[in-house]
Amino acid sequence: FLSSSSSQTLSKLEALECHFTWVKETTRSHLLHKRVQLEDIGTDEGNFWLGSIYNLWGFVLYELGSSKEAHQYFRKATETLQRLRKEGEGPWLMVNYGNLAWLHHHLGEEAESQDYLSKVEALKSKFSSPSQDELHPEIYAEKAWTLMKFGKKNKLLAADYFQRSFKMQPDMVQWQSSRVIALASAAKHWDTNLSDDLMQEIRTAREQDPENLYVAAVELKERGRKGESVKDEAETLGQKILLQPVSSYSGLKPLLRLHRELGLLDEAIVLTEEFLERHPDERYLKRCAALCYKWKVLRFTADRVDQSTIERAIKLHEDVIDLYPDTSFVKKVDLAHVQAKSSHGRTIAYQMFQDLLARRDLDSGDKQLLYYNYARYLNFERHDSNQAVQYYMKSAEIPNRIFYGKLSVKVLQKMYEKGRSRMCPEIREFLENLSDDDSE
């Protein structure tokens, strides 16, 4: 049984606003992905969110079993927040001190844990939130920034928290920018264009935070989707991003997606190769380049893509798999697709898919992605539509259906509507019996 002082401490810890109370359910695979994302954001001094990056990094490292490293990152967060805000103490330290209170508690260092709990209390009374049922805007902002890294539903919640924090402190334009990034990111897989209201918010954020090239790229991408002519602006923005430190928040990825929407894949490839010439060792840029080459190779039938482009795509994918050893599953699926387009890679592609299908460590999301992609491979490369249907079904019937599971359902519905497949009776029966599972 817990002593009364221990249970008192625990209830105080559980009441804290920090990563240990915000992030409840996560898997090892998900944490490894988070660590990779944090590494790719980069730690350039000019990054407004650097303190938050170190805070989340510390939490991820603790959850992955590295308490000592976690402590180093939480301390880095403290020092960074003090340096960036040019003040020793402030409300922006409440989350960080909460994390340190939890960490020391988990390490059995109760005196240190109590010390940080006291520091949080002192900051709370000195910098109280505007009303009883609201958090301090600094806490809302960091909570939002953290939650937007944990799934689509959380991105919408994050956008709401950013809005609350920004209303309380309208001079913090970075909070408004992060809100529109969260909303645009949540909308990435929607079929429809963004609403006029959201487009207006993105425009406003771009005007108020002109240094944020990620917001600029998101705005251009959406205007391009609506049919506006943005090619010249895209070229100018690409050159601006080229001069910035390499980061996954530089704006490069949405700019490349804009190129794809406009059918400018050759220009996207030239741009990523230009980036790689300047920064040959940056793995994030190799990842962006691999993505562009994949789009180019998979867009056309094999005889319409020259062999040297396919070879470059294969080499980049192999490099990226080596550079991201803990999170390379999706890139292995992509590489199998690219190999299938190569004149001498068809056997390799088949074997790669067999190896991936034999894996026993995949979670339900990975399985949905793999079965959907294998079905496409069977359909378009091996022209085996009957077996492809089986794998679309395998993807669609996995519980907690997410993006690729839902896509598989759509493909099966289209196949049935067209009525050309010999398996239409089986597809109809499958769709009728499919549980309406829309959890994500």
pLDDT digits (tens, 9 = 90+) for 173-218: 999 999 999 999 888 766 567 788 999 999 999 999 999 999 999 9
CATH 1.25.40.10 fits 4-128, yes or no: yes
Contact 399, 364 (CB under 8 A): yes
Three-class DSSP category at 326:
coil
pLDDT band at residue 262, thresholds of 50, 70 and 90?
Answer: very high
Q: Which pLDDT score, from 0 to 100, does residue 39 have?
A: 96
Instruction: Report the C-alpha gap between 220 and 230 in whole angstroms.
Output: 7
Beta carbons within 10 angstroms of residue 425's beta carbon: 10
Rounded Cα distance, 75 and 77, in Å: 5
Where do runs of H (alpha helix) occur along 130-264?
Answer: 137-147, 152-168, 173-186, 196-208, 213-225, 231-242, 252-261
Contacts with 260 (C-beta within 8 Å, 6 or more apart), sequence order:
268, 292, 295
What's the full length of the chain, in residues? 440
Q: Could you report the per-residue pLDDT of 30-62, keeping only the tens digit for each?
A: 999 999 999 999 988 888 999 999 999 999 999
How far is Cα 110 from Cα 181, in angstroms, rounded to an integer? 39
Q: Which of 144, 157, 146, 119 is nearest to 59 (CA)?
A: 146
Residue 190 has a pLDDT of 63
- The Cα 58–Cα 67 span in angstroms is 8
* Rounded distance between C-alpha atoms, residue 133 and residue 195, angstroms: 31
User: Which residue is listed with tokens 């049984």?
Assistant: 1
Report percent pLDDT > 90 for the chain.
82
Mean pLDDT of the 240-255 span? 96
The distance in angstroms from the start CA to the end CA of the chain is: 39
Query: What is the sign of the dihedral through the CA atoms of 90, 62, 364 and 399?
Result: negative
Provide the CA 154 distance to its chain's centre, in angstroms: 12
pLDDT, mean over the chain: 93
Please state, in angstroms and as integers, the Cα–Cα distance from residue 19 to each residue in 24, 121, 150, 439, following that order: 9, 17, 12, 24
What pLDDT was estimated at residue 204?
96
Tell me, what's the pLDDT at 87?
81
pLDDT bracket for residue 440 (50, 70, 90): very low
Say if CB 284 and CB 248 are below 8 A apart. Answer: yes
Q: How far apart are CA 73 and CA 79, in angstroms?
A: 10
What is the spatial distance between Cα 440 and Cα 424, in angstroms, rounded to a whole number?
28
Name the 3-class secondary structure at 324: coil
Average pLDDT of 126-138?
Answer: 90
pTM of full prediction above 0.75: yes
**302 pLDDT higher than 70:** no
% residues pLDDT > 70 (the chain): 96
Specify whether the CB–CB gap between 56 and 146 falls below 8 A.
Answer: yes
Q: What is the pLDDT of residue 192?
A: 63
| Residue 27: per-residue pLDDT | 87
Banded pLDDT at 303 (limits 50, 70, 90): low
